[in-house]
Amino acid sequence: MKLPQSLQSKLQHRDDTNALRTLSAQNNGIDFSSNDYIGFSRSVEIFNTAHQFLNENNIRQNGATGSRLISGNHNVYKIAENYIANFHQSETALIFNSGYDANVGFFSAVPQRNDVILYDELCHASIRDGIIMSNAKSYKYPHNDFEALETTIVKQLAAHNAQATTIYIVTESVFSMDGDAPNMEQLTNLTDKYHCYLIVDEAHALGVFGDKGEGLAQSLNLQDKVFARIMTFGKGLGCHGAAILGSHELKSYLVNFARSFIYTTALSPHSVATILTAYQQLEKEPKALHQLKSNIIFFNQQKMLLGLKPLFVYSKSAIQCAIVSGNQNVKSMANQLHEKGFDVKPILSPTVPEGQERLRFCLHSYNSEKEITEVLQLLTKFIF
């Protein structure tokens, strides 16, 4: 049966603008595209240790069998959530099936009808989707512009003077399409000043920032200033799932009202055991994290030496983005890099604004200095 004409037209428009998404086979080139920042997804030690943990605890079950509120709350959850909470110096942790589920669950459930959500304009789609599902009013503020944010806070407080209202401020510690970070000290001072509630998505900071990869807020000792931190495990931890860190009361509220938590089959025991094992690996083996940090410094040095710095968005994270305007241009350049054996992905509009298309270089602990130098030298040749 054919698609309705309205849907066919939308697909055709994507095709006409070189923005049509397709599922391609896995690229076997040198990895500058995955979010596996410290190589945990390919860790044989984590794989074997998770399996050993399940055997030692006599857990031989492939599936969760139901939601956590019915039959899926297997014993590994309690162990993992307690470990995660201690690791992140949080009262509690509540595991969700994915970062998307965590953000949709939080933002659709927590902010109420008379509340206000102020979010950075570059926040991830999962945050935006959750906000759309909320009954609260929401407004975006210019990227990392805290003067504009403060003006909006003051305006909203004045407008809601006669009503009880809560203001939620939302940001990411590392923005997924730019790789930059907000000034967390300045932001927490602002939220303290106006008694706002700060939510930080740490998806691309876990396993990257801090002595043990604990994330940006905690590395700055600001964890107690944040109402909720969202930790996603599919990136730095190399596995799957996410957790929301916060108070006991917040955890209880989410268990009762977050629909993406309540109405879904839980993660399997093996998935949760892998999360637990990955966290244990972060604590006992910092070598990969230190190597990643060295590679980030080396990449930034090389792009400066090669005259590429003006092309890149400022970033000290594992995400480094070179602006190459136009879907066709950036796809062509990514294809040229692929032909030379490097897996670098183009980011197209409408994922990013038109004119802000980019090559997104993801750095890893297992990238060599030789690989970094070669891919940047190729970029220099293609650009200039």
Determine the Cα–Cα distance for residues 102 and 240; give it in Å rounded to an integer. Answer: 12
- Find residue 92's DSSP bridge partners: 246
Residues 294 and 313 in one domain: yes
Structure tokens at 15: 């095709």
Sheet containing 197-201: order of strands: 92-96, 242-246, 228-232, 197-201, 167-172, 116-120, 137-141
Final residue in a domain of this structure, among 235, 253, 284:
284
Residues 171 and 304 in one domain: no
The most distant pair of C-alpha atoms in the chain lies apart, rounded to whole Å, by 63
Residues 271 and 330 in one domain: no
Q: What is the structure's pLDDT at 162? A: 55
Q: What is the mean pLDDT of each run of 10 residues along the chain (384 residues)?
A: 94 91 84 97 97 94 95 96 98 98 98 96 97 97 98 93 84 97 98 97 98 97 98 97 98 98 98 98 93 98 96 96 95 95 95 94 98 97 84
Do the domain assignments include residue 369?
Answer: yes
Find the domain containing 368 and state its range: 286-383
pTM of the model: 0.95
Residues 239 and 268 in one domain: yes
Residues 213 and 350 in one domain: no
CATH of the domain at 227: 3.40.640.10
Residues 59 and 69 in one domain: yes
Which regions of 47-136 does DSSP assign to beta strands (E)? 92-96, 116-120
Q: How much of the chain is in helix, strand and coil states, percent to nearest 5?
A: 45, 15, 40
Examine residue 350 and say whether the peptide bond preceding it is cis (omega within 30 degrees of 0).
Answer: yes
Residues 203 and 349 in one domain: no
Residues 229 and 315 in one domain: no
Final residue in a domain of this structure, among 257, 284, 311:
284
Q: Phi/psi zone of residue 195: left (φ > 0), alpha (ψ -120 to 50 degrees), beta?
A: left
Residues 275 and 308 in one domain: no
For the chain, the domain total comes to 2
Residues 269 and 294 in one domain: no
Q: How many helices (H) and strands (E) does the chain have?
A: 14, 12
Do the domain assignments include residue 3?
Answer: no
Residues 313 and 269 in one domain: no
Q: What is the structure's pLDDT at 57? A: 93
How many CA atoms does the CB half-sphere of 32 hold within 13 Å?
A: 29
Determine the Cα–Cα distance for residues 105 and 114; give it in Å rounded to an integer. Answer: 19
AA identity, residue 9: S
Do the domain assignments include residue 16?
Answer: no
Final residue in a domain of this structure, among 284, 302, 318:
284
Do the domain assignments include residue 7?
Answer: no
Are 59 and 51 a contacting pair, CB within 8 Å? no
Residues 262 and 293 in one domain: no
Phi, psi angle pair for 49, to nearest 5°: -70, -40
Q: Residue 182's closest CA among 212, 152, 141, 129?
A: 141
Do the domain assignments include residue 11?
Answer: no
Do the domain assignments include residue 32?
Answer: no
CATH of the domain at 311: 3.90.1150.10
